[in-house]
Structure 1
Amino acid sequence: MTHIPDDLRYAPGHEWARSESDGTVVVGVSDHGQDLLGDMVFVGLPEVGKVVAAGDPVAVVESVKSAADAHAPVAGTVIEVNAAAADAPESVNSDPYGTWLFKLRPTDPAEIATLMDAATYRASL
């Protein structure tokens, strides 16, 4: 069964988003998303400083089955990437909520509230 933490928000492309106390948003691939893709073999991360709109492709995750874009759940600027995820792409499978891909400084911090809560995401699956 897919694990869906209640304290995160979710985008339609199976990205999760977590608001941090400093106003930044941490983004990763949900448990369901990594399960759909299969065993990860590559994670391509964005450039720090990249400005993105909500829904823009930001990172790439490739598995033995396919490749997919990880999209920005909210508009903002990429302020940090997780090089450890690129070095060990399989960590997206083994720890999808501990392995984040990138952090954004959102243009509008309230935009995260427009994403699905855990119950809505669960129902969408």
Structure 2
Amino acid sequence: MTMSELRYTEDHEWIRVEGDTATVGISAYAQEQMGDVVFVELPEPGRALAQGDEAAVVESVKAASEVYSPLTGEVSEANPALEETPGLVNEDPTGEGWLFKLKMAEPAEAEGLMDAEAYQTFLAGL
């Protein structure tokens, strides 16, 4: 997967849009800041989320961090692999370590998120 396919939020979530579904995870930067992920609390499929709603919690050896929904929609799937192997968030944050999938209600919201270049610029300013 190329970085250019991802869109980012200022809270360090990423999305990858396929059709009317967006896969959501946390960025490589976010997982580096957190350290080793030990537990992930994921949203239940069928849960409706508005853009900016708290959707999941990622717990690391350092702290617990909320993950916010980058888009409005309904959770269609949560990553079952993370129950057994939460460290996938560290090992492959934009691949196997995805958190949940959303059936988008407002696909245009994705256009408002940062592309990879804009996100790198944002990180440089932190």
In the aligned structure 2, how far is the partner of 1:97 from the partner of 1:45? 16
Q: Which amino acid aligns with 2:31?
A: Q
- Give 5+ residue unaligned stretches, structure 2: none
CA distance, structure 1, for counterparts of residue 84 and residue 52 of structure 2? 25
3-state SS of paired residue (2:86)? coil
Aligned residue pairs total 121
Aligned: 1:68 with 2:65: yes
> Are 2:98 and 1:100 equivalent residues in the alignment?
yes
Could you tell me how far 1:63 is from its partner in structure 2? 0.2
Q: Which residue of 2 aligns with 1:38?
A: 35
Q: List 4+ stretches of structure 1 deviating above 4 A.
A: none
| Aligned match for 2:10, one of 9, 12, 22 | 12
Residue of structure 2 equivalent to 1:57: 54
Letter in 2 for 1:117: D
1:38-93, CA deviations, whole angstroms, 9 ceiling, x for partnerless residues? 00000011111111111111011000000001110011110110010222111100
- Give the CA RMSD over aligned residues: 1.1
| Percent pairwise identity | 49
Q: Structure 1, unaligned stretches of length 5 or more?
A: none
d(CA) in 1 for partners of 2:4, 2:62: 29
TM-score, normalisation: structure 2? 0.92
